[in-house]
Every structure is written in C-alpha cells, then in structure tokens.
Amino acid sequence: MDLTLSPSEEEFRDEVRTWLEENHPGPEPDDGLDQVIAFRREWQRKLHEAGWAGISWPQEYGGRGATLIEQAIFVGEAARLETPSPANVLGLAMGGPVVIAHGSDEQKRRYLEPILSGEEIWCQGFSEPESGSDLASLKTRAVKDGDEWVVSGQKVWTTLAQFSKWCMLVARTDPDAPKHQGLTYFLMDMEQEGVEAKPLVQITGEGEFNEVFMNEARIPEENVVGGVGNGWAVAITTLMNERAGLAFGAIAQIQNSLRRLAKLATETRANGGSAADDAYYRQRIAQLHIEAETMRLNAYRGLTKTMQSGIPGPEGSLGKWQWADLNQDLTELALEIEGAYAPLARGAEHAVAGGAWQYSFLRSRANSIEGGTTDILKNIIAERVLGLPRLR
C-alpha cells in the first residue's frame, strides 16, 4: 500500500501544475454562452498546442498516451486550479475514444484531429423524450436510402448541440430486432436542413442543453461507426469512457467547494460568534470532509483495481452516486449557513458571496440525474456488484 506519487509522477504533476498556472486564462466570461464557448475554444487550442488535449488518447492518434495515474493527476490539477473546460469536452471524452476503438482508418483520419483542436465540437444524441434511463428503447428511426441513411426523430438533453458540428447519434435501424439489437451508431452532421437544435432553459436560467429535432436528416453510409446493428455495444463504450477519470476532477472540485464552505462559515455571524463556532455546523462540515476523503480514497482504490484488471469496474457507479449526494449536501449546507440571506441570488446587492452558492445549489440538483441517475446507479450496483436479481 502506497498512497503517495512516485518521483516520476510527482515530476509529471509539477509539469502539469506549472503549465496550467502559467497558461490559466482566468475566469470565464459572464456575458453569454456564445462568449463562453469562444473562450473555451481558445483554451482548447492552447491545450492542444501543448499536447494536453487528448491526454488519455494513444500517441499515434495525436494524444499523449498518459497512464491512468497521469490522467488522474491532470484532471485533478485542472479542477483544483479551476481552469475552463475545453470547448469540445464530449468529443475528447467520448467521441474520439469511440472512433479510436470502433472507427475505420478513414474515420480516424477525418475526425480525430478536429476533435483535439476544438475546431469541431461534438454532441451526444442518445436520450429521447420517451427513452431516458431505458436508453435501449429509443425510437429515432434511420432508414437506408441508396448510400445514405435518412433519420427522423427527437433527441433531448443534448449538451452544446447548438454549437456542434457532429452528433454521436444512436438510432434504430431494425425495428423488428430485440431492443438492444437493431441500433446503429452514426456520426451526424448537425449543419444540415433536417436538423434543428432548440435550447432548453434549466432551473438555473442557463441553456446548456437542447432538444434536437431530426426531420429526414441525411447521413452518408460511411458515417456508421462499428457496423450497422452494433450501436448498443458502441454506445456502451462511450458511457464507460464518460465515467473513467472523472472522479479525480470531481474530487478536486469538491475540495475547492469545501474550502469555500469553511470560509463562508467563518465569515457568517451566528450566536455572537461565527457559524464556524456552531457545534451543529461543525458536525455537518466535518461529515462532508469525511465523505470527501472516503470518495478520494475509493477513487484511489478504484484506480489501483483498474490498473490491475485493465478495465474500470461497475464500482465507478458508487463514486458518481457519492459525488452527487456530497455536492448536493454541501450546497444545501451553504444555503443553511446563509440563513435568511439564502434566497438572494446573483445580481442582488446583498447576496452572500455574489450569489455563487445559490447557483451551485440549483445546479447541483441535476447531479443525481445527469450521467446516470442515482436510482439507476443503485440498480447497477445491486445487480452487477452485489449480484442481486434483476426486476426486469
């Protein structure tokens, strides 16, 4: 057992840290999503030039080929320093790895470089209004017409669709096959007449994600990834990629929030002292720290296990569940500490901490929904880790 970094890993961390500190572009603009995306494109261009964009990708495809620990270090450092997200985060985390794993040589040549540079942004067309957790029931149809596929249907929760060039689209190509078969994974050009993205406004007032309507959209047959009818297996790869490595960024983000929470408690007057002197708040704050530490240590154990076996196990679901609970508890406590000031939001003259906690409180409501709901994660854990029977 050794919970320290090796000398070469420490050297890598120092290199990452120095580069990120020297190149940190500062806080994101707050005057609209267009400006934010332009800012993130510029940041990704910088990351790519320095070879950090495809850190987990193999070197032959323009990546860095970093080890799992190096990836964890990079993600953790970036989160700790609160660098912006790259513009094409889904292309880097999911699109690229899928093309590398399942794509043809021609697809690799065509798509990988613009993903890394951020020149082309990718979105994910999986969920539908009637197919959320039960993804395999999706209804969007693709029908062969000569050397093209014609697609009609609707996707939802499509993050950054309005800025995307390519959509990782899963559509039903054989309606007579069992539901997990008969699906195909396509790369759909978003810039065409048959595709329309409409932003959905979230409870925070922002519009990160969209509804996407496809009305006889056209996809050339060379844009099928992994073969017709093989869409479920290909899609699963992307979901696995989504989980791997995220834990270390999430942990660093929680640690930053815990520091801000302690500052809030210390600066909030309560009972003649500060909230940080209050026994009840001290208990709550301590418990959050303890859970953050168990989450960090679980992630280390998971990383060790992944290095031994080569693939991330279903235990990753525990970390995602735990993170969602923890981030929600944390923001709930912040509002509790603010007391009667809790409703004052961004823009209010007397909002505490500029209304940052109000935003975090609202945004974190989605943590137990996005990327696999907590209820579904509990099913996965019950079935695949504990071996309990399936209800379905």
Partner 1 sequence: MYFDLTDEQQAIKATAKDFLAARFKSERIREIAASADGTDPAGWGEMAELGWTGLAVPEEWGGQGLGIVDLAVLFEELGYALAPSPLFSNTIVALALSYCGSDDQRERFLRPLGEGSKRATPALWDVGSTATPGAFTMRAEAGGDGIVLSGEKVLVMDAAGVDFFLVATADGHRHIVAADAPGVSVNPEESIDTTRRVSSLRLDGVQVAAADTLPAEGAEYEAVFDRLCVALAAESTGIAQRSLEMAVEYAKDRQQFGRPIGAYQAVSHRCAQMLLETENSRSAVYGAAWAADAEPESLRLAASMAKAYASDAGWRVPDASIQVHGGIGFTWEHDLHFFLKRGRANAAMFGDAKWHRERVAEAVLSRAAEPAAA
Residues classed as catalytic? 242
Contacts of 360 (CB under 8 A, 6+ apart): 257, 331, 334
Of residues 198 and 378, the one with the C-beta less far from partner 1? 378
- The residue (of 309 and 347) whose beta carbon lies closer to partner 1 is 309
Q: Please tell me whether residue 336 binds partner 1 under the rule CB under 8 A.
A: no
Report d(CA 89, CA 124) in Å as an integer. 11
Compute the distance between CA of residue 272 and CA of residue 76 in angstroms, rounded to an integer.
38
Residues 8-47 that bind partner 1 (CB under 8 A): 9
- Distance, in Å, from the CA atom of 138 to the CA atom of 136, rounded to the nearest integer, reads 5
CB of 261 to partner 1, least distance (A): 8
Altogether, the residues listed in the chain come to a count of 392
Q: Under the phi-then-psi rule, with left for phi > 0, alpha for psi from -120 to 50, and beta for the rest, what region is 36?
A: alpha
Cβ proximity to partner 1, 172 vs 320, nearer residue: 320
Out of 253, 304, 306, 373, the only residue in the binding site for partner 1 (CB under 8 A) is: 304
In the bound state with partner 1, the residue whose beta carbon lies nearer, of 239 and 258, is: 258
State the nearest-atom distance from the C-beta of 183 to partner 1, in Å.
Answer: 26
Does residue 5 belong to the site contacting partner 1 (CB under 8 A)? yes
Among 272, 275, 284, residue whose Cα is nearest residue 337 = 275
Specify the residue for token string 């396509």: 186
Residue 80 to residues 219, 242, 275, 280, Cα–Cα distance (Å): 41, 20, 25, 28
List beta partners, residue 187: 168
Task: Give the footprint of partner 1 on residues 351-380 (CB under 8 A).
Answer: 375, 378-379
Binding mask 55-74 for partner 1 (x = CB under 8 A): --------------x-----
- Looking at 217, 285, 337, 352, which residue binds partner 1 (CB under 8 A)? 285
Residue 171: count other Cβ atoms within 10 Å of its Cβ. Answer: 27
Q: What are phi and psi of 379, to 5 degrees?
A: -60, -45
* Binding residue for partner 1, selected from 50, 101, 177, 286, defined by CB under 8 A: 286
Span from 38-46, 89-97, 188-196, 261-269 in contact with partner 1 (CB under 8 A)? 261-269
With respect to partner 1, which residue has the nearer C-beta, 8 or 192? 8
Q: Which is nearer to partner 1, 198 or 282 (CB)?
A: 282
Q: In angstroms, what is the minimal distance from the CB of 283 to partner 1?
A: 5
Q: From residue 152, give the alpha-carbon distance in Å to each of 172, 192, 193, 194, 267.
A: 10, 13, 12, 8, 55
Candidates 3, 203, 311, 340; binder of partner 1 (CB under 8 A) is 3
Smallest gap from Cβ 168 to partner 1, in A, equals: 29
Looking at residue 36, its amino acid is: V
354: Cα within 13 Å, side-chain hemisphere: 3
The least CB distance from residue 383 to partner 1, in Å, is 8
Does the protein bind partner 1 through residue 266 (CB under 8 A)?
yes
- The alpha carbon dihedral of 301, 303, 308, 314 has a sign of positive
Q: Residue from 80, 179, 218, 363 that binds partner 1 (CB under 8 A)?
A: 80
Q: Are 45 and 38 spatial neighbours (Cβ–Cβ below 8 Å)?
A: no
Q: For partner 1, which is the closer residue by CB, 216 or 375?
A: 375
Closest listed residue to residue 111, CA positions, set 208, 186, 214 = 186
Exactly one of 185, 186, 209, 321 binds partner 1 (CB under 8 A); that residue is 321
**Residue 388, number of CB atoms within 10 A of its CB:** 11
Distance CA 278, CA 299 (A): 32
Report the interface residues with partner 1, using CB under 8 A.
1-6, 9, 69, 80, 256, 258-259, 262-263, 265-266, 276, 279, 282-283, 285-287, 289-291, 293-295, 297-298, 300-301, 303-305, 308, 315, 318, 321-322, 375, 378-379, 381-383, 385-391
